[in-house]
Amino acid sequence: MAILFSFFIFLLLSLSPPQRTLAGDQSCRPTCGSLKLKYPFGSGYGCGSPRFHPFVTCEPTSNQLTLTTHTGSYPVTSISYATSTLTITPPYMSTCNSMQQSPNLGLDWTSPFQLGPSTFLLLSCPSPTCSLAINGSPVCDSSSSHLCDSIYTCPSVTGLGLPMFPPSNTCCVYSPANFNSKGELDLRSLKCEGYTSIVSLQDYPTDPNQWQYGVLLKYANGAFDIYDIDNKCNACEESGGVCGYAPPGNSFICACDIGYNTTTQCRNFFNNDQEQEIFWSSASLQIWKKWFWILAGLILII
Ligand SMILES: *[C@@H]1O[C@H](CO)[C@@H](O)[C@H](O)[C@H]1NC(C)=O
């Protein structure tokens, strides 16, 4: 009976498709949650560009791509590879659904990220906001103050300690926004309680429920990368691989989906004896081991 049982376990284990077991071997993943990861983004150390790694990682527990700066960690909610932009949604940023006090939002100067063209609204500032200034120059764009009227119709304004329908001269449209010398949106020195950032009005300029909230960032693509990495990386990605780097010297590697790396791309690995060897030892050996145990189980039963 025990033998039968163990045979059954082996059978169950071996029935799971081999790709599944092998996917665990892939050190660089092509997705994080629902986001497609392509160069220069990567799922962790050794993947994507080494300039992006300390700032952007795929959190293993939540499967969430996260940008970390000196002011906090921010979920990355979309990436546009065509325009070299990404959107983050800071957890303490206000939206029409939820308004709250926010700490300063900052980017690291050493990171490849810069503020993109989203529209910041500073909320619950000292009135009148037309007198808010940074280094003597006014902050608020009065020609867009209708956005303040709209956002202050959201019932959640009470979350900032404001009354319902507060006077909109405590709100300020800050666009284009600039970060200060520490790389921060300095709410503390402006004495504003919170902020929101609008990526798109979605054709509803007066309905803040329809707006798309988030902070758009631009990323510098390739500017500091080793010559020719873009061409190498395109070939790698087109062959189903994920671009990465490895010591020494963070040189380019192409991580292929059965757990081996090449210096070129994934399709032509059979041309190279060494890579072929790695393939046989890692991937196929696992499959043969399983069949060995199934056979052993069968023999025991008989
Ligand atoms: C492939 O490269 C990744 C990223 O550098 C690394 O983590 C992994 O260990 C490498 N795998 C092999 C089999 O060398």
Number of separate helices (H) and strands (E) present in the chain: 7, 19
For residue 261, give the nearest of 19, 23, 40, 27 by alpha carbon. Answer: 27
> Measured from the CB, is residue 256 less than 6 Å from ligand 1?
no
> Measured from the CB, is residue 255 less than 6 Å from ligand 1?
yes
Distance 210 CA to ligand 1 centre (A): 44
> Measured from the CB, is residue 265 less than 6 Å from ligand 1?
no
276 and 284 Cβ atoms separated by less than 8 Å: no
- Asked if residue 189 is part of any domain, the answer here is yes
Distance 42 CA to ligand 1 centre (A): 13
Which runs of consecutive H residues, i.e. helices, occur in the chain? 2-15, 18-23, 146-151, 187-190, 229-238, 273-279, 285-301
For residue 201, give the nearest of 131, 287, 117 by alpha carbon. Answer: 117
- Asked if residue 176 is part of any domain, the answer here is yes
Distance 217 CA to ligand 1 centre (A): 30
Query: CB neighbours (10 Å) of residue 49?
Result: 25
Q: Which atom of ligand 1 is nearest to the CA of 261?
A: 1
For residue 210, give the nearest of 198, 194, 192, 228 by alpha carbon. Answer: 198
| Alpha-carbon gap, residue 44 to 12, rounded angstroms | 32
Which domain does 190 fall in, by range? 70-219
The dihedral built from the CA positions of residue 155, 161, 164 and 170, taken in this order, carries a sign that is negative
> Measured from the CB, is residue 201 less than 6 Å from ligand 1?
no
- Asked if residue 247 is part of any domain, the answer here is no
Q: Residue length, the chain?
A: 302
> Measured from the CB, is residue 254 less than 6 Å from ligand 1?
no
Domain total for the chain?
A: 1
- Asked if residue 153 is part of any domain, the answer here is yes
In the prediction, which pLDDT does 289 show? 61
In the prediction, which pLDDT does 183 show? 95
Mapped onto helix, strand or coil, the DSSP state of residue 6 is helix
**CB within 8 Å of 225: residues ≥ 6 apart:** 40, 49, 51
> Measured from the CB, is residue 27 less than 6 Å from ligand 1?
yes
Distance 261 CA to ligand 1 centre (A): 6
Whose Cα sits closest to atom 7 in ligand 1? Answer: 27
- Asked if residue 31 is part of any domain, the answer here is no
Mapped onto helix, strand or coil, the DSSP state of residue 79 is strand
The dihedral built from the CA positions of residue 157, 163, 164 and 165, taken in this order, carries a sign that is negative
Q: Which of 22, 39, 243, 261 has the most ligand 1 atoms within 8 A of CB, as the residue to mutate? A: 261
Which residues share a beta bridge with 195? 122
Q: Which atom of ligand 1 is nearest to the CA of 246?
A: 5
- Asked if residue 118 is part of any domain, the answer here is yes
| Alpha-carbon gap, residue 120 to 184, rounded angstroms | 13
Q: Tell me the pairing of strands 133-134 and 56-59.
A: unpaired
| Alpha-carbon gap, residue 119 to 162, rounded angstroms | 22
In the prediction, which pLDDT does 20 show? 34
In the prediction, which pLDDT does 220 show? 87
In the prediction, which pLDDT does 137 show? 86
Distance 265 CA to ligand 1 centre (A): 14
In the prediction, which pLDDT does 136 show? 85
pLDDT tens series, the chain, 302 aa = 555 545 444 444 444 433 333 444 458 999 999 999 999 999 999 999 999 999 999 999 999 999 999 999 999 999 999 999 999 999 999 999 999 999 999 999 999 999 999 999 999 999 898 888 888 889 999 999 999 999 999 999 999 999 999 999 999 999 999 999 999 999 999 999 999 999 999 999 999 999 999 999 999 875 445 667 788 899 999 999 999 999 888 899 999 987 889 999 998 655 444 444 445 445 445 555 666 666 666 666 66
- Asked if residue 120 is part of any domain, the answer here is yes
- Asked if residue 61 is part of any domain, the answer here is no
In the prediction, which pLDDT does 130 show? 84
